[in-house]
Structure formats: C-alpha cells, structure tokens
Amino acid sequence: MPRHQPAALPIAYVVLRVLIVLNWIYGALLLAILGLSLANEHWTFMALGVPVSDQTRPLVMGMRAIAALGLLTVPLNLAMLKRLVAMVHTVRAGDPFVADNANRLQAIAWVLLALQLISLIIWAIGKAVSTPAHPLHLNAGFSPAGWLAVVLTFVLARVFAEGTLMREDLEGTV
C-alpha cells in the first residue's frame, strides 16, 4: 500500500504521457519534412531558406542526414519514456525496488548515451555543412549536463539493482 502520494507522481505521469504524444508528433513532422524533401526538393528547401544549387548541395544533404538522425531519436525517446511511465507505475503501487526497475534504468542509461552520441554526430554534420551564407544553428553537440545524466543513470541503475537485492534479503529474513 502506498503510504503517501506526493503530487509529483501524478504530475510526472501526465508529463510523461504528454511527452510520448509530443514525441510522436515530432517524429511525424520530421518524417513529413524528410519525405517532402525527397518528393519536392526545391520547394521544401526553399521553404527552409536554402535554395537548392550545386553550392548548397552539401548543406541539403547534411540537413537530410540531420533529419534522418532526428528520426532515429523518436524510437529511442519512446523507449525511455515508456520505461519511465512503467517506473512511475511501480512507485505509485508502492513497490519501486524491483529488479525490473533496475533493468529499466540500465536501458534508459544506454538510451541517454545513444542520444548524446547522436547529438555529437548532428553537431559534427552541422559544423561540416554550415556556410557563412547559410549558417546552421543547431542545439546539438557536447552537453556536460547530458553526459552527467548518462553517468548518473548508470550509477542509479546499479544502486537500484543492489537495493533490490538488499530488499529481497530483508524479506527472506526471519
């Protein structure tokens, strides 16, 4: 039985649900832009402020690659958010120290690591194709906070795994 239900939990649950929907919308929009850029290249890139020419070809290809990488983050975000929702469920049920949650945290840590690596690749592509005439301003690259989150999540997953074993020990003690 959960003893006390702080408001943070229902809020977190709603926020996570909203983020899952937003992630789907983000994926759909990226897919639409990528599809349009292939179906009607000139119109799409003109709308994005990049007239297609031999000079802007690397930029066009770079933007496509960035969109494709962005698309790759959709299932990763979804995997992370779904696991977080499952974890919130266990907390609300009053039983968060279970092996499943340790595994979920471990998986989230790997997803965060993958997202950081993708961010670095996007930054590198942006740097390579950006020109003074058409500069690319991307919110990507090395993020100390992001990498700290990766390390913290790996550590937390380990703490959860050990905590679960300790609880199992305690439950088996007469």
The window from 24-32, 40-48, 66-74, 158-166 that contacts another protein (CB under 8 A) reads 158-166
When binding is defined by CB under 8 A, the residue of 41, 75, 165, 167 that contacts another protein is 165
Q: Answer for the pair 16, 84: CB distance below 8 angstroms, yes or no.
A: yes
Nearest-10 Cα torsion for 86, 17, 143, 141: 120
Q: Residue for token digits 């997803």?
A: 111
Whole-angstrom Cα distance, residue 62 to residue 58?
Answer: 6
Q: How far is the CB of 174 from another protein (least distance, A)?
A: 4
Q: How far is the CB of 103 from another protein (least distance, A)?
A: 6
Is residue 168 close enough to count as binding another protein by CB under 8 A?
A: yes
C-alpha triplet 59, 137, 46: angle, nearest 5° = 45
Q: How far is the CB of 117 from another protein (least distance, A)?
A: 22
Which residues lie near another protein (CB under 8 A)?
Answer: 99, 102-103, 106, 161-162, 164-165, 168-169, 171-174
